[in-house]
Amino acid sequence: MKNDLKVYVYPLQRSAGDELQTIDSVKVKPDLQPLYDYLVRRGSSCSLITIILSICRYFHATRSSASPLGTKAGTRRCRRKLPRSLAGAVSSDTKNVKTDPPAVIAEDLPSLITCNPMADREHERQVLRKYARPVVHMRRQHKLKRLALVFGAGISKSFGLPGWSELAKRIAGDRQVKGREILERATSRTSLPFVIELLFQHFRKTYYEQQDGRKIPAVEFENRAAANWQRICAKHLYKRSPRYFSSAVDRHPYLSELLPIIQKTPLTVTYNFDDFVERALCAKKSIDDKSRGFETVTNPWIQFRRENGVVYHPNGVIKSELMELPADKFIFSESSFAQQAVGSVGDASFLVNHFCKNTCLVIGASLEDESLRSTLIWSAETSPGNFHYCVHFLRKRASLTKADAEAIRRANFNVFNLITLFLTEPEIAALARLIDDTQVPDDELLDVADEEGVPLVYKYYLTGAIGVGKSETARQLENLSVIDEWLEPRISILAKPWDELTRKERDRADAWIVNQFKLKNDKLRHETLGVFIIDRPPLDPLAFTPANARRAKAKLLLDTICPRQKWGIVPGAVILFTGDPQDLALRVLLTGRDEYTAERLERMQKDLCGLYRGAGVITIDIRGMAVRDVTKKVAEMIFFDDYREYQLSKKLRRYT
């Protein structure tokens, strides 16, 4: 355009029943199509607007009435990484632009669609303030390659793909299927997989009748019918998919921010039939990457060719025109779902193992999906201490009451081991940036956390009398960062009863035990990110020491852990387990230590309760609770209760 002229226009929807005209759906004159295609491919379009190419001569006199006053743009803001020179777009079809009544003045639009890094930062701050512990947990898991993404239909809807219900309607209306009457007869209680099964069987019968009595081998007929059925499904699945996919990825509310995570994650699970995640990986891959940038699998048991960027479709995948992907599995009907449910090939057990071995972030998926529900429930039973995250999408921040949000949170946590994050689209994008250190570097995250007064390291010390089950609980919570009671192999003299040790052996045992607390404290002092479970805080040895010797033991602990008082004992929340001394004594008997009687364990428990009192101490009475119940209780405290630290150094100094 002459003199770098730019005209900004909203996406156009002439009436409520008309289709929204966007960069992908707008029609231009045939002679202008090559130029239009070139401009879209080179990225000269802004993701918030429709570009209509022609010649603009009267920019100053034109106004857009495409959207009512106050209407938000139909798509997302420009990504902050988009070059400023590409932040605008050109429109010149002034013949179709109404000037009366005026709704949005053209020159006012740049302020609405210009890249806005300040808005990005504010969303990041909001997410960090509200979900600091989930953020630091997932960020650390991502660094360790233990974070896995799980996608549902919600992530594809932004590309214009239909949901299950809409797809069923489109297939039923296909001229080869002619199944609208089947949909009309189906009741509201009829499941969509069963409706699809009815449509397929109707199509199969019709297809057979079209053979006009020709004798076709049964295998050939079934294969031809299945192939035609998949083509019908693909036609309606991708009917309104974007023509310019790379540009569509940029306009997606949060996929661009998720791609760097997918690229570094060993396995991403998508329950969708489309291949848009793979196409996005290919479109946005690194220049140095000479491969396709991804690997698609429908059989999870084979060895993968790639170490990361592998996308697994449990329900199979319908190929788009531009990709060559496996079509050996297509789970779309009632019978195919039933075969998957009974585990005919064991894929369900693979998913359970995947959920048990990783921390998963579920985005765009419905918990009404039977496959996902069963996987979550099964993995929660198998690994009760492994918790995952689920994004509950909010169109607006105030679209859900606190009571409803709390009910959803508790239900998801208790049934599925899911920690629910209530987020809008910009906040989902912010969450992805916060998880990935290439988008928000560590030093930048530290600065934001300092400004907001949000800690990035959370420490939880587990303590209690012998036999109370704290170590077993810690083992169940291995998806967090667990620091064991002993960091080195235990020395042999610790197997003897304390009363039978000589003075020299006691000194040696004391020195070794105290050094273990020093090693744990040194490790914690240098940690900058994560949620940590520490088996036994450094004050515990005082409960195993006679009252007249505690002052000397406290001095030994303080001098060893904090030499010359250069640093202190790392503070943290203390979770104190208590139980019935009789039950504890029976548990200890199983380990062969019969010297710990119920009376002795009761005294130990009272001493520990005396050591840990006040702010920062949480007490859990485990009586009548199984290990999984205790684990869940601890996890609920970690992720939902206010975090308050117990000042261990201050308490230890009182004994010296």
Query: Could you identify the residue written with the tokens 């201490």?
Result: 385
Residue 479 falls inside a structural domain: yes
Cβ atoms of residues 569 and 644 within 8 Å: no
Task: Yes or no: say if 478 and 385 are a contact pair by the CB < 8 Å rule.
Answer: yes
Q: Closest by alpha carbon to 574, among 449, 453, 458, 417?
A: 458
Length of the chain: 656
CB contact set of 380 (below 8 Å; sequence gap of 6+)? 386, 415, 416, 417
Handedness of CA 171, 177, 183, 186 (dihedral sign): negative
Q: Pick from 185, 206, 237: which residue ends a domain?
A: 237
**Are residues 462 and 386 located together in one domain of the fold?**
no
Q: Which residues make beta-bridge pairs with 617?
A: 574
Count of domains observed in the chain: 4
Task: Give pTM, 2 decimals.
Answer: 0.79
- DSSP one-letter string for 595-613: T--HHHHHHHHHHHHHHS-
Q: Is the dihedral of CA 402, 404, 409, 414 positive or negative?
A: positive
State residue 267's pLDDT score.
96
pLDDT value at residue 312: 95
CA–CA separation, 480 and 577 (whole Å): 19
472 belongs to a structural domain: yes
Asked if residue 247 is part of any domain, the answer here is no
> Can you read off the two tokens belonging to residue 489?
């192999």
Question: 423, 450, 477: which is the final residue of a domain?
Answer: 450
Confirm whether 177 is domain-assigned. yes
- Do the domain assignments include residue 243? no
CATH code at position 506: 3.40.50.300
Interatomic CA distance for residues 232 and 225, integer angstroms:
11
pLDDT score, position 206: 86
Pairing of strands 530-535, 457-464: parallel
Q: Has residue 604 been placed in a domain?
A: yes
Residues 193 and 270 occupy one common structural domain:
no
Under 8 Å between Cβ of 169 and 252: no
168 and 261 fall within a common domain: no
What pLDDT score was predicted for residue 544?
87
pLDDT score at 328: 52
**Does 265 map to a domain?**
yes
Domain that residue 170 falls in: 164-237
Is residue 486 domain-shared with residue 595, that is, in the same domain?
yes
Q: Are residues 82 and 51 in the same domain?
A: yes
Q: Residue 101: what pLDDT?
A: 39
Residues of the chain with pLDDT under 50: 2, 43-114, 322-323, 325-326, 331, 333-335, 337-338, 341-345
Residues 433 and 570 placed together within one structural domain of the fold: no
Is 445 found in the same domain as 378? Answer: yes
Residues 310 and 443 in one domain: yes
- 304 shares its domain with 400: yes
Which 8-state DSSP code applies to residue 54?
S
**76 Cβ contact list (under 8 Å, min separation 6):** 47, 48, 251, 252, 253, 425, 426, 429
Residue 189 lies in a domain: yes
Task: Tell whether 261 and 222 lie within a shared domain.
Answer: no
Structure tokens at 304: 């993968």
Which position has the token pair 């290919």? 282
Residues 221 and 258 in one domain: no
Same domain, 303 and 431: yes
Of 421, 450, 479, which one is at a domain's C-terminal end? 450
What are phi and psi for residue 518, nearest 5 degrees?
-65, -45
